[in-house]
């Protein structure tokens, strides 16, 4: 009975230590100055490259989240986050870069700038 109560109390703490879902990670602010020298074509190309990189990082984050959940259930520890599998910072930075490029594309009237996911 004591174990069940202890597990019930520890579960929220352990779950909070798990990797965040990639969809819930907010963009960090990135100034657009590093993209202002780019042409519209260069911006579109970089946005495409960044979208692929963000998709890879999101897949890695989903995997880390799943592994953390399994680790918490089996061992009581978020193993993936502890071993460097959590890439939330990378995702936040890449989303910030996407937003900065979108702002520059709008300033330059490059056409339809894709929305940031």
User: How would DSSP label each residue in 48-104?
Assistant: HHHHHHHHHHHHHHHHHHHHHHHHHHHTSS-HHHHTT---HHHHHHHHHHHHHHHHH
Q: b/e for 55-75, b at 16 or more Cβ within 10 A?
A: eebbebbeebbebbbebbeee
* Ranges 12-16, 51-55, 94-98, 100-104: which has the least confidence: 12-16
User: How long is the chain?
Assistant: 117
pTM above 0.85, yes or no: no
Cα(116)–Cα(94) distance, integer angstroms: 10
Question: For the chain, what is the domain count?
Answer: 1
Nearest of 97, 87, 108 to residue 29 by alpha carbon: 97
In a domain, 115, yes or no: no
- What is the Cα 108 distance to its own chain's centre? 27
In a domain, 34, yes or no: yes
- What is the chain's Cα-based Rg? 19
Over residues 28-69, the pLDDT tens digits come to 999 999 999 999 999 999 999 999 999 999 998 888 888 777
In a domain, 70, yes or no: yes
In a domain, 11, yes or no: yes
Cβ–Cβ under 8 Å, residues 14 and 71 = no
In a domain, 117, yes or no: no
Range of the domain at 12: 2-107
């Amino acid at each position: 009975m004591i174990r069940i109560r202890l597990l019930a109390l520890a579960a929220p703490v352990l779950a909070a230590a798990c990797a965040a879902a990639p969809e819930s990670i907010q963009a960090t602010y990135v100034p657009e100055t590093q993209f202002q020298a780019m042409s519209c074509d260069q911006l579109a190309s970089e946005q495409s490259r960044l979208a692929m990189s963000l998709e890879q990082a999101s897949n890695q984050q989903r995997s880390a989240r799943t592994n953390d959940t399994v680790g918490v259930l089996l061992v009581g520890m978020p193993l993936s986050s502890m071993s460097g599998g959590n890439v939330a910072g990378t995702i936040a930075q890449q989303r910030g870069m996407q937003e900065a490029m979108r702002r520059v594309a709008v300033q330059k009237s490059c056409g339809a700038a894709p929305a940031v996911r």
